[in-house]
Amino acid sequence: MEEYIFIYCTAGSGIVYVNNRKYMIHENEAFCIPRYCGHRYYACEDDPWSILWVHFKGEDVKYFPLEECKTVTFNSDNATNRMMFLFELLFRVLDGNYTLGNFIYISQVLSLILAETYNREKHHTTLEQNRHVTNVVRYMYKHLHEELTLQQIAEEFELSKSYLNVIFRKYTRHAPMDFYISLKMKEACKLLRSTNLYIYEVAQQLGYQDQYYFSRIFKKVVGISPKEYKNSEFFHYKE
């Protein structure tokens, strides 16, 4: 089939097979079956779905990720209400005459449905990633005196280690633990310059029991040893 099939589940659950791969679709989720793909779909027996669907093709399909076989979840009542409203508009016009004006209107409404599904979802994902990075960084600041591991951070926020690596590299250009160590060394610089603490005391305050290990990390990040930093005019180091 040379047309795409867009399915929006309003209640219940169903199953979609695309090229023999299985996808579960639940209430308030949307899925697009790519064109030219073998497919079948049906309602689950124990919780049959109610769906709105539309077949379409056209030049503007390239602006949306319709080939990815991606299930999109609508997490808010506002998003769900917008989808229902747009489908009602679409079906209302389809019940009318097949004039050029109506076809243009249908095309525009369909574009809004796809934009609502994919562009808003992308925006939501970006906001969520930003929120996760912000919360983790705040957590790191509160625990500079400890020796956190990536596993501990992942468990604290119920996120995978691989996901944390991806979003930190995206927004900070550093791996999570490299970013955490960088925060520690910035705090070390402040303590070395603004207090009379010995180097081993600074190390202990930042969760390092081994002064020499702390000194190696400090020199690697800052560029000079803690002793040299404490007695110099050096203030900045490469991020």
pLDDT tens-digit series, residues 76-99: 777 888 899 999 999 888 887 778
Q: Is 91 helix (H, G, I), strand (E, B) or coil?
A: helix
pLDDT of residue 124: 58
Q: For residue 204, is pLDDT > 70?
A: yes
Burial class (CB in 10 A: 0-12, 13-18, 19+), 66: buried
Taking the mean position of all CA atoms in its chain, how far away is CA 163?
A: 8
Average pLDDT over residues 165-183: 92
Decide if pLDDT at 131 tops 90: no
- Coil, strand or helix at 181: helix
**Tens of pLDDT along 7-26?**
999 999 999 999 999 999 99
**pLDDT for residue 123:** 55
CA-based max dimension of the chain = 84
Please say if the pLDDT value at position 239 is more than 60.
no
Q: pTM score, two decimals?
A: 0.52
- The whole-number pLDDT of residue 3 equals 95
Whether 121 has a pLDDT exceeding 50, the answer reads yes
Confidence tier at 234 by pLDDT (50, 70, 90):
low
Coil, strand, or helix at residue 171? Answer: helix
DSSP lists the bridge partners of residue 43 as 14
